[in-house]
Structure 1
Amino acid sequence: MEYISTRGKVGSIGFIDAFMMGLANDGGLLIPKNIPVIPVETLQAWSKLSYTELVLELFSYFTNDEIPKEELKQLVEASYSTFRHPEVTPVTKLSDDLYLLELFHGPTFAFKDVALQFMGQFYSYVAKKKGVRINILGATSGDTGASAIEGVRGKDGIKICILHPHGKVSKVQELQMTTVQDDNVLNLSVDGNFDDCQRIIKELFADLEFKSANDLAAINSINFVRILAQIVYYFYAYFKVADNIGTTKVNFSVPTGNFGDIFAGYMAKRMGLPVGKLILATNENNILERFIKEGVYMPGDFRMTYSPSMDIQVASNFERYLYYVLGEDPELITKLMEQFKVEGEISIDGEALAKVQAEFAAHGVLGAECLATISSVKTDANYLLDPHSACGVAAAKACAAPNELTVSLATAHPAKFNEAIELCGIEQQYPEQIKALFDKEQRQTRIAGDKDAIAKAIEVFYKG
C-alpha cells in the first residue's frame, strides 16, 4: 500500500512516512492509493477473531510490512492493554434493532483512545527506531487532547502540545488534559473556538519550514493512521450483530463534527463491509447535515451545545470524502479547497449529490432532543448515554427504517459530560479515575487565538 495526497502533489510514500507526515506537504490529506476490498470468505474468518487479532489482520493491508509482524503485535497489545473491557469495544443491545458500540473503555473514557493509544505507542516506536525527536501538535474539541496526552505522556523523545478552546470543553475534559504534570506536555487554552484552533494547526503544518524546524507530527484525524485504527471497530461491531456474515447489512449511526469517525465507516464500507446507511448525527453546528441534504458545505454561526466535542463548523476530514465522491480528481479538489478558503462555500449537485445521499443519511439533533433522548433511554433501557452518544441514538431513530439493524456509536462515558446529565435530573456516579481529577492541580497556559503567538509558545516549549 502506498499513500498519496488528495491534492496530487505528494508522490507515493510508505506507511511510516505517511504517519510521520500527518498533513500532506501540499496541504491536502493523505489517503491510501488503493482501497483494499476484503473477500467475503475473509470476513467470515475475521468474525471469529479477538479485537487485537482483528487489528493485526486489517492493518496488514496498509502497513507494507514496514513493521515486523511481531513488533506490530507488541505495539497493538500494549495499546489495548490499557482498556478496562476485555473486548476493547464491546457491543450492547438497546432494542431488537438497535445496538450500541461502546467506545469509551479506554483510559480517558472516550472513543479517541482507540486510535490514540496505538498512535502513542507507534510514535514512541518510530522515535526509538529512527533516533529522531517527535514534537506532536494537535487541536481538540475536548476528547482528542486527553487521549493524545495519555498516549505519550512521559515517553522519551516525544513532546506534545495540545490546543483547546478556552471555556468550551466540559470540566472533566479540561481536567483530563490539564492535570497531567509530565514535562513533555503543554496545554494551550486558546481564546476562540475549536475551528480557530484547528485552522491554526493546519496553517502551522502547511508552513513546511516551521514544520521541519520543529519536527512537527500530527495527532489529529488529519493523520490517516487515526482513521485506520477506527476502521477496525466497524468490522468488529458488524461481526457481533450480523446474523449472516457477508450478506446481512448493518446501519451505523455516528455522532460526528470533524467527519473522521464516520469517514472510517465509509472506508470500511468501501473495503467490502456490508454497511447499509451511514447515518451522520450532528448538533446545532450542522454544516455536515446540510451538505448531506442539500449539497452545500458552508460554515454557519458557531454555537455551544450539550455535545461540545461536536461543536465544529469546518470538518478537517471532509476533504478526504470530497476526493472520493468527486471522482478522485486532485486538481478539482485543489481548486475547490482554494475556493472554500476564499469564498467559504463548496456546493455540489446532480450525480455527485445523488451519490452522497445514497451513501449517507443525516439528522441534526437539537439540545432538547438530545436531553430527551438521554432521559428516555435511561427510563426505557436503564442505560445512561452521554450527550454525543444520545445524538447518535436520536439520529438512528430518525433515519433508520423499522426492522433495519443499526449500530449507534457510544463515543464517550456520561461522566465526562455531567453538565448535560444534571439537566435531565439524573444523578450519576463518577468512576474513581474521573472523581480523582477534581483534587489535582491544573497546568495550562491561556493564549490569544493568534497564529504567531501560538507558534512562538510552541517553539519555546519544543526547544526547551
Structure 2
Amino acid sequence: MQYVSTRADASAASHSLQQFSDILLGGLAPDGGLYLPVEYPQVSGEELNKWRHMSYADLAVEILKKFAGDIPEADLRALAHKTYTADVYRNVREGEKAADITPLRVLDETEGKQLVLQSLSNGPTLAFKDMAMQLLGNLFEYALAKQDAQLNIFGATSGDTGSAAEYAMRGKKGIKVFMLSPHKKMSAFQTAQMFSLQDPNIFNIAVEGVFDDCQDMVKAVSNDLEFKARHKIGTVNSINWARVVAQVVYYFRGYLAATRNNEQKVSFTVPSGNFGNICAGHIARQMGLPIDKLIVATNENDVLDEFFRTGVYRVRKSAETYHTSSPSMDISKASNFERFVFDLVKGDGKRVRELFKKVETEGGFDLSGAPGSDGDEFKLVANYGFKSGKSTHADRVQTIRDVADDYGIVIDTHTADGIKVAKEYMEPGVPMIVLETALAAKFNETILEALGQDAERPAGFENIEALPQRFEVMPADVSKMKAYIAANTGL
C-alpha cells in the first residue's frame, strides 16, 4: 500500500509515494496536505463472513495489514493483541463485557427502526480516542525502537485527544508529548485528566484562545520542515493517518455485530467536529462495508452541518466559535475534511490546493454550483452517503434526560448530540448505530443540570479534580511555542 498527499500534483504524485512506515510518525505531508492511500483496499463478502466471529484484536490485524503491508504481519498481530485487551478497555457499563472491546447496546426497536449505541469509551481515559491512541502508542514505540530514534509529539486537543494521547504515550521510551489545549475551555474532568499527569515526558500547554488557534499552531510547526526535522516533531492528531486507520476497525466491528449477513445495511451517526472519526467511516464505506448513511452530528459549531446541507464550507473565526457543553466539538476548522474533499474532487490534488488556499485567504469555499460558486461537486456528495444535523445545549439536556428515562443509561453531551440527530434519520430495516464519544463522568456539569445528580465514575477517577496539576499558560504565538518546544526537547 502506497500513500500520496491530498495536495500532490498528478504529474509528481508517482515520485512522492510513501509507505505506511514512512508516514507513521508524521502528520502533514511536506506540501501541507494529508496522506491517503493511492487507492482504498477492498473487502470482499467472503472476508466479512470470515471476520464475523473474530476477536477485536484479530479483526484489527486483518484491517491494519491492508494498509500497513510494510510491517510484518506477526508484528502487527503482537501490537494489536497488546493493545486490545479486556484489561485496557475495562470501564464497561453494567451488562457489557470488557472482552467485546466495543460492545453494542440496542436502545430502541420501534416500528422496525433500531437505535443502537456502540460503546467506544471503555479505555483508560473514558473516551473514544483511546480506541486509536492506545494502538498508536504501541506502534510509535515499536517504530522508534527499530530506528533507535526519538519523537517529540506536538498536538492539539479540544478535550479528549490530549488525555488519550498522554495516557498512551506516558513512560514510552524515546517519546515526549507537547499538548496544546484551549485555556479554561475544557470540562473540569478533562482538564484534570490531562494536567494532573506528572510524567516528565508530558508537557501540557494551555493556550489563550480556542481549539482552532491550537490546531493552527500545530499546522504551522508541521509546515516548518526544517524545525520539524531538527526537533523530530510528529503528531497524534487525526491528521496522522495511522490514527484514522485504527478508527476504521470499529466501524467494521459495529457492522458485523449488528447484522447477520452481508446483504444487511446499517447507518452510523457520529458526533463530529474535526471530521476525523467520521472520516474513518467514510474510508470503511469506500472499502466496501455496507453502510447506508454516514450522519454528521454537530453542536452549535455547525460548519460541517452547513456544508452537508448546502455545499458551502465556511470556517468561523475564533471569536465566532462557541464554547458549548459538548466542548470536544467546539471546532470550526475540520482538519480531516480535506481527505473527503480529495475524494469528492476525484483525487485532483491541484484542485484541493486551490480550495484550501481559499479557506486561508477567504475563509471557505462554495461547491454548491450556484452562480459565482467555486464549483458544483456538491452534487456528488449523495454518492458517499453523507447526511447531517445539529444539536444545541437545550437539545443535549433533553436527550440526556430522555435516554436516562427511556433506556436507563446516562450518556455524555456529545453522544447526546449524536442520538438527537440520529433519530431524525432512522429508517425501518436499517439499524442506526450511534458512536459513543465519552463516558458521562467527563461532563458532569451538564449531567448534573440534566438529571440533578452526578454521573457515575469508574474506579480510580473519584477525586481527579483535586489532584495537583502541572501546565503552562501561553499565548497563541507560534514563535514562542517553537522556543518552548526547542527548550524542552533536548535537541
TM-score tier after normalising by the smaller chain length: over 0.9
Aligned residue in 1 for 2:307: 291
Aligned residue in 1 for 2:4: 4
Q: Tell me which amino acid in the other structure corresponds to 1:446.
A: V
Q: Tell me which amino acid in the other structure corresponds to 1:74.
A: A
Does the CA-based 8 Å contact 1:54-1:232 persist in structure 2? yes
Aligned residue in 2 for 1:76: 80
Which runs of structure 2 are paired with 1:47-446 in the superposition (5 Å)? Answer: 47-64=52-69, 66-81=70-85, 82-84=88-90, 85-96=98-109, 97-244=114-261, 246-300=262-316, 301-350=320-369, 352-358=377-383, 359-427=385-453, 428-446=455-473
Does the CA-based 8 Å contact 2:188-2:465 persist in structure 1? no
C-alpha displacement of 1:451? 0.9
CA distance in 2, matches of 1:410, 1:340: 30
C-alpha displacement of 1:345? 1.1
**Alignment partner of 1:432: what SS?**
coil
**Alignment partner of 2:220: what SS?**
helix
C-alpha displacement of 1:87? 1.2
Q: Kindly provide the CA deviation profile for residues 283-310 of structure 1, in whole angstroms up to 9, marking residues without a partner as x.
A: 0000000000000111232001110000
Aligned residue in 1 for 2:95: none
CA distance in 1, matches of 2:327, 2:212: 12
Does the CA-based 8 Å contact 2:65-2:76 persist in structure 1? no
Q: Tell me which amino acid in the other structure corresponds to 2:361.
A: V
Q: Tell me which amino acid in the other structure corresponds to 1:12.
A: L
CA distance in 1, matches of 2:333, 2:324: 16
C-alpha displacement of 1:426? 3.6
Aligned residue in 1 for 2:93: none
**Alignment partner of 1:78: what SS?**
helix
C-alpha displacement of 1:402? 4.4
Q: Tell me which amino acid in the other structure corresponds to 2:381.
A: V
Structure 2 spans left out of the alignment, 5+ residues: 91-97, 370-375
Q: Tell me which amino acid in the other structure corresponds to 2:108.
A: S
CA distance in 2, matches of 1:131, 1:107: 28
CA distance in 2, matches of 1:78, 1:405: 32
Aligned residue in 1 for 2:40: 35
C-alpha displacement of 1:403? 4.6
C-alpha displacement of 1:228? 0.2
Q: Tell me which amino acid in the other structure corresponds to 2:427.
A: A
CA distance in 1, matches of 2:279, 2:388: 14
Q: Kindly provide the CA deviation profile for residues 134-186 of structure 1, in whole angstroms up to 9, marking residues without a partner as x.
A: 11110000000000001110111111110000011111111111111110010
**Alignment partner of 1:21: what SS?**
coil
Aligned residue in 2 for 1:23: 28
Does the CA-based 8 Å contact 2:315-2:359 persist in structure 1? no
C-alpha displacement of 1:20? 2.1
C-alpha displacement of 1:399? 2.2
Q: Kindly provide the CA deviation profile for residues 375-412 of structure 1, in whole angstroms up to 9, marking residues without a partner as x.
A: 00100111111000011111100122345310001110
Q: Kindly provide the CA deviation profile for residues 301-326 of structure 1, in whole angstroms up to 9, marking residues without a partner as x.
A: 20011100000000000100000011
CA distance in 2, matches of 1:373, 1:437: 27
Q: Kindly provide the CA deviation profile for residues 300-359 of structure 1, in whole angstroms up to 9, marking residues without a partner as x.
A: 320011100000000000100000011110011111111211111111024521221452
4+ residue runs of structure 1 moved beyond 4 angstroms? none
C-alpha displacement of 1:21? 2.7
**Alignment partner of 2:462: what SS?**
helix
Q: Tell me which amino acid in the other structure corresponds to 1:13.
A: Q
CA distance in 2, matches of 1:304, 1:161: 23
**More off after superposition, 297-306 vs 110-119:** 297-306
Does the CA-based 8 Å contact 2:56-2:84 persist in structure 1? no
Q: Kindly provide the CA deviation profile for residues 358-379 of structure 1, in whole angstroms up to 9, marking residues without a partner as x.
A: 5211001011111110000100
Q: Tell me which amino acid in the other structure corresponds to 1:275.
A: I
Q: Tell me which amino acid in the other structure corresponds to 2:323.
A: M
CA root-mean-square deviation:
1.2
Question: TM-score normalized by structure 1?
Answer: 0.98
Question: TM-score normalized by structure 2?
Answer: 0.92
CA distance in 2, matches of 1:369, 1:401: 21
Which runs of structure 2 are paired with 1:439-454 in the superposition (5 Å)? Answer: 439-454=466-481
Q: Tell me which amino acid in the other structure corresponds to 2:482.
A: A
**Alignment partner of 2:67: what SS?**
coil
